[in-house]
Amino acid sequence: MQAYPYALKTWAEKRQSMRDELFIRGEVPMTKSEVRAVSISKLELEEGSVLYDVGAGTGSVSVEAASFLKNGKVYAIERKEEAISLIKANKERFHAGCLEIVEGIAPEAMESLEAPTHVFVGGTSGSMNEVLALVLLKNPRARIVINVLALESLSEILTWLKDHSIAAEIVQVQVSRAKEAGDYHLMMGQNPVYVISFGGEGGTLLEK
């Protein structure tokens, strides 16, 4: 794990320094900066929001989202030990005071938490339906954003949305980064990510 000799101290530093290379990373997958930007925008956070980050990984979404919340709370829910260590390190590095790490498997780890206003789902280890059911039981008006890579995962979510008569926005984010090749720069494509968003105040509710 890479160590950093200092932590980002000021609000300006924290808000302007969310580049991927500034996060402490291991072998745990991380939501990249461009996908974070779209996903956090789709969350439509407010200063007092209560956010669940389900399958928080390195904590990159939790940490960046926390920088928007002056009076809110972020719960980073994660079951893997390495990932939990990384979230702790990134929380300290970015001084994300409103971020609380919840160790455990979703949805069980979510049961005792206060109701969310917003939920980001990066991974559920096969418990997507159960996670969404608990979220909407706690708050039928929660704003939910889900990231998936596999077509099978997208199909599962589409089926769930159809079964519950919920309309969602789906966008695909595909980023290419330049890589030097001699005197030239070639664009190297990354895996496309599907960003599914729905719900929220005034949005579509779960039908009874």
Q: What is the DSSP string of the chain?
A: ----S----SHHHHHH---GGGS---SS----HHHHHHHHHHHT--TT-EEEEET-TTSHHHHHHHTT-SS-EEEEEE--HHHHHHHHHHHHHTT-TTEEEEES-TTGGGTTSPPPSEEEES--TT-HHHHHHHHHHH-TT-EEEEEE-SHHHHHHHHHHHHHTT---EEEEE--EEEEEETTEEEEEEPPPEEEEEEE-TTSPPPP-
Convert the pLDDT of each residue in 150-202 to its tens digit: 999 999 999 999 999 999 999 999 999 899 999 999 999 989 999 999 998 74
pLDDT of residue 17: 56
pLDDT of residue 70: 84
pLDDT of residue 11: 45
Q: Which residues of the chain have pLDDT under 70?
A: 1-17, 202-208
